[in-house]
Copies of this chain bind each other. A is one copy, B any other.
Amino acid sequence: MRKGDLTRQSILERATGLASKVGLDGVTIGALAAELDLSKSGLFAHFRSKEALQLQVLEFGATQFLEQVIRPSLAEPRGEPRLRALFDRWLDWTRSSPLPGGCLFVQAAVEFDDRQGSVRERLVGIQRQWLGVIATSLQKGIDAGAFAGGVDPEQFAQDVYGVMLAYHHASRLLHDPHAEARARRAFEALLAGARGAAH
């Protein structure tokens, strides 16, 4: 591995953390260079455009998310354990030290939902995949008989993500100490609903 790839990696790591706080647009090349004791132009040379930097930040974050949230959860047995793992690990993800501003994708989703371009498109792909993982995890649970047949996986995925977003809001903006406990209760209620034949 070349040296350049090494520094590029550390740039992306820092940029990802910064983006979780101030957004992908808020990650300024000058500020990022200053944080890393690099010159603006030296840092810029690694990406050659800000959009490319943003895309690589998204890619870096997606890889981290895959390794920290999705992959270990998919190692859990189907049904409730796997869904619980996804939920727990997502909560941990939003509080992990490389993301001082919470979930990078929550920030980016709000920032880019009214724009066009490759960054938005990549973000949509990432978020669809994430919701897809939740949905198919439930579907596999249904197939295994752990959940009722009438449950809609896409409905469940949107519901679970809502619990996560509400936690993120209550926790990060309002600093509500009960945010996590409520999120867990809400998630348990969703699981209970999927278990029983409700709705």
Contact = CB atoms under 8 A, between A and B. Distances in A.
Interface string A160-195: 011111110110111000110011011011001100
Give the size range of A's interface with the partner.
35 or more
22 contacts: A23-B23, A102-B113, A109-B169, A112-B173, A113-B172, A114-B172, A124-B173, A124-B174, A127-B169, A128-B174, A131-B170, A131-B174, A154-B182, A158-B179, A158-B182, A159-B166, A159-B186, A161-B169, A161-B170, A162-B164, A162-B166, A189-B198
B101 A173 contact: no
A114 B107 CA distance: 11
B165 A166 contact: yes
Contacts of A100: 114
Nearest 9 A/B pairs, CB to CB: A162-B166, A162-B162, A165-B165, A113-B173, A113-B172, A110-B110, A21-B114, A101-B114, A158-B182
A135 to B, nearest CB: 12
A154 B169 contact: no
Most interface-central of A107, A165, A178 (chain B CB within 10 A): A165
Contacts of A198: 189
A148 interface: no
Given A101-B113, A159-B163, A189-B199, 16 more contacts: A102-B113, A102-B114, A110-B111, A111-B111, A127-B173, A127-B174, A155-B185, A155-B186, A158-B179, A158-B186, A161-B166, A161-B169, A162-B163, A165-B166, A165-B169, A189-B193
A22 interface: yes
